[in-house]
């Protein structure tokens, strides 16, 4: 049996709760259930409807898709947290590797806590919104990197073709006008497609 302080520390480690005020965390920690699972026990399976998150208190679990292991989680790690906000099927299975103790928070428990303390929902929404912004920024940066890399590769390709003794004057002229690759004598691109 965990003390209230231990529960608070475990709940504070859950990414979606990390920035909640202490009074909100205490409220959530107090309503979570403590569960014990034996070794090699399947906690949930891929495709199963999910409505709870779990925090590993002791032991280890394996997150896997069929026979392929995706991750091993140890004390303090949480899994299944997105199921608190939607009823989508689980995207992977989780099986214990050792005898395992977990804290579990169900969607219903979270909703009841939000009914009593609406500030919990506001804090969670802010955190999730910030995460979405960060993911959008990261995606935009990666797309820009891909564009820059594509542009660099295209310039290098154009320079190589221009230096090639096999490039005709007409093809060089097309490249100087900004075309992405050498033209055939009939004015079409070779192989029927662009070079990227």
Q: What is the pLDDT of residues 9-63, one digit of tens each?
A: 888 888 778 778 888 888 889 999 999 999 999 999 999 988 999 999 999 999 9
Regarding the domain with residue range 4-117, which homologous superfamily does it belong to in the CATH classification? Answer: Jelly Rolls (2.60.120.10)
Structural contact between residues 25 and 17, judged by C-beta atoms closer than 8 angstroms: yes
The whole-angstrom separation of Cα 51 and Cα 63 is: 17
Looking at every residue in the chain, the average pLDDT score rounds to 81
Tell me: pLDDT of 196 over 60. Answer: no
**3-class SS shares of the chain: helix, strand, coil, % to 5:** 45, 20, 35
Interval 116-121 mean pLDDT: 83
């Amino acid at each position: 049996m965990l003390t209230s302080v231990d529960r608070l520390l475990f709940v504070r480690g859950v990414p979606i709760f990390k920035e909640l005020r202490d009074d909100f965390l205490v409220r959530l920690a107090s309503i979570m259930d403590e569960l014990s699972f034996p070794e090699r026990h399947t906690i949930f399976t891929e495709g199963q409807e999910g409505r709870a998150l779990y925090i590993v208190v002791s032991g280890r679990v394996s997150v896997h898709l069929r026979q392929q292991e995706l991750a091993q989680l140890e004390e303090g790690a949480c899994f299944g947290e997105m199921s608190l906000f939607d009823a989508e099927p689980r995207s992977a299975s989780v099986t214990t590797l050792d005898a395992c103790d977990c804290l579990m928070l169900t969607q219903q428990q979270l909703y009841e806590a939000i009914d009593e303390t609406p500030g919990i929902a506001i804090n969670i929404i802010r955190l999730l919104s910030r995460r979405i912004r960060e993911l959008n920024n990261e995606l935009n940066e990666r797309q820009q990197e891909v564009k820059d890399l594509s542009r660099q590769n295209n310039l290098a390709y154009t320079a190589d073709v221009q230096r090639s003794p096999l490039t005709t004057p007409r093809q060089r002229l097309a490249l100087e006008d900004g075309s992405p690759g050498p033209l055939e004598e009939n004015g079409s691109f070779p192989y029927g497609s662009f070079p990227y």
